[in-house]
Amino acid sequence: MQPGILLFHIMIRYFTAGESHGPALSAIVEGVPAGVPVTPEAINQQLARRQQGYGRGGRMKIETDKAELLSGVRFGKTLGSPIALVIKNRDWENWTTAMNQFEQPDEEIAKITIPRPGHADLAGRIKYGFDDIRPVIERSSARETAARVAAGTLARIFLKALGIEIGSYVSAIGSAKEGAPDPQLAALLGEGGEAISRQADLSPVRMLDAGAEADALAAIDAAKEQGDTLGGIIEIFITGVPLGFGSYVQHDRRLDAELAAAIISIQAIKGVEIGTAFENAGKPGSQVHDEFHLSLESGVERATNRAGGLEGSMSSGQSIHLRAAMKPISSLISPLSSFDLETLQPTPSRFERSDTCAVPAAGVVAEAVIAPVIANALLAKLGGDHLEEILQRLNLYRESIRNTFRA
């Protein structure tokens, strides 16, 4: 029996399909409990957020992503059965020949034989035995994250109904970065994770610091003029998660590991940090660990959250704070050195239409991909097949935690 197979009946999992320039992207989401209120508008709002951000490329002017739900919902509520959704690619009409699924076109389609450094091109072509890099580009493209945002939004809606919210903002783009955590962050966290996103979304680069925003806009303009690209750092927060989700007893049940894996799976994300982990590594323990203080009103209180809301691979009851490092996009107008796989001769790398900077969009994707992780940690702890049942169990669990610290 495969590890974890007994948990499948309480797990939310999803699969995506589709190519960047194919007819559509699709996803099947399994395990969402029954009774969760869902509308296409809620999903499309997140898809629209993913398409925003200063520095995006021409593709965003073509696509207006809309999700069509095909199954698993009746009268606006989930049924507990698999949910299928489709996002059609408007750009497909320009690719019906080059990406034809069944017929070899009469006209010759130019093969792509020059790999781009930093992309999946070279390894993907050799791994799958292609004589053309095009199939690698199509599936490895970050266009796939549109389907993941749609799928993750279903889990996100489920969590929101239980008082758990997810939000993010951008703290750095290239050399433009906030000097310190924004002073309004604490107040926004008090309102819930989504308040952070609402404030960040007012900025074209999803930054809270006005000075850093101005520097980032200028940096993106300069990079675009030079034919270059920029990466950055995303701050992700989850609020309302009770103490004790996750587990320390097995490696594959550790909540910090699952959250990190979800974020690192996003295209171009190359690093994940929990709390202020790298800063903590250079300090003594007396300046790192978050001390306990007991209060008659609120139970355990802490003046700091350097652990990022995760201790011993479990939620600590504080806001969960994750940081993601996104590398600059690998498709550059000003080419890097490469070679031709057909001739094995050195040649400049090729350019595939892309963004100058997609860090703001990556924050929205990060919010989506961690939602199923938190939802599964909740379901593993509480079980339940429909929303009302799960909410009752969660309220009882929260009350039991409060009672633990009452005299």
Question: Which CATH code for domain 5-404?
Answer: 3.60.150.10
Q: How far apart are CA 146 and CA 26, in angstroms?
A: 9
Q: How far apart are CA 260 and CA 335, in angstroms?
A: 32
Helix/strand/coil for 399: helix
- State the CB neighbour count (10 A cutoff) for residue 295: 9
pLDDT at 56: 73
The domain spans of the chain are 5-404
Q: Render pLDDT for 294-312 as a digit per residue (tens, 0 to 9).
A: 887 778 889 999 999 999 9
pLDDT at 1: 36
pLDDT at 147: 98
Q: Render pLDDT for 313-352 as a digit per residue (tens, 0 to 9).
A: 999 999 999 999 999 998 888 889 999 999 999 999 988 8
**What pTM value is reported for the model?**
0.94
The angle that helices 145-160 and 40-50 make with each other, rounded to 10 degrees, is: 130
pLDDT at 332: 87
Q: Render pLDDT for 273-289 as a digit per residue (tens, 0 to 9).
A: 999 999 999 999 999 99
* Token pair recorded at residue 313: 């691979």
pLDDT at 350: 86
Do 49 and 103 contact (CB within 8 A), yes or no?
Answer: no
Do 160 and 216 contact (CB within 8 A), yes or no?
Answer: no
pLDDT at 8: 44
Alpha-helical regions (H) of 10-56: 40-50
Q: Render pLDDT for 349-392 as a digit per residue (tens, 0 to 9).
A: 988 877 899 999 999 999 999 999 999 999 999 999 999 999 99
Do 115 and 121 contact (CB within 8 A), yes or no?
Answer: yes
Phi then psi dihedrals of residue 197, to 5 deg: -65, -40
Do 339 and 347 contact (CB within 8 A), yes or no?
Answer: yes
Name the percent of the chain lying above pLDDT 90. Answer: 82
pLDDT at 334: 87
The answer to whether residue 154 scores a pLDDT higher than 50 is yes
The answer to whether residue 3 scores a pLDDT higher than 50 is no
Positive or negative torsion for Cα 46, 48, 54, 56:
positive
Secondary structure letter of residue 241 according to DSSP: P
Q: How far apart are CA 281 and CA 347, in angstroms?
A: 42
The answer to whether residue 54 scores a pLDDT higher than 60 is yes
Q: What is the mean pLDDT of the chain?
A: 93
Over range 52-79, report the average pLDDT.
86
pLDDT at 163: 98
Local confidence band at 61 (pLDDT 50, 70, 90 cut-offs):
low
Nearest to 115 by CA among 125, 107, 127, 103: 125
Nearest to 212 by CA among 187, 235, 186, 188: 235
- Reduced 3-state DSSP string for 354-382: CCCCCHHHHHHHHHHHHHHHHHHHHHHHH
> In this predicted model, which residue has the larger pLDDT, 218 or 183?
218
Q: Render pLDDT for 94-104 as a digit per residue (tens, 0 to 9).
A: 899 989 989 88
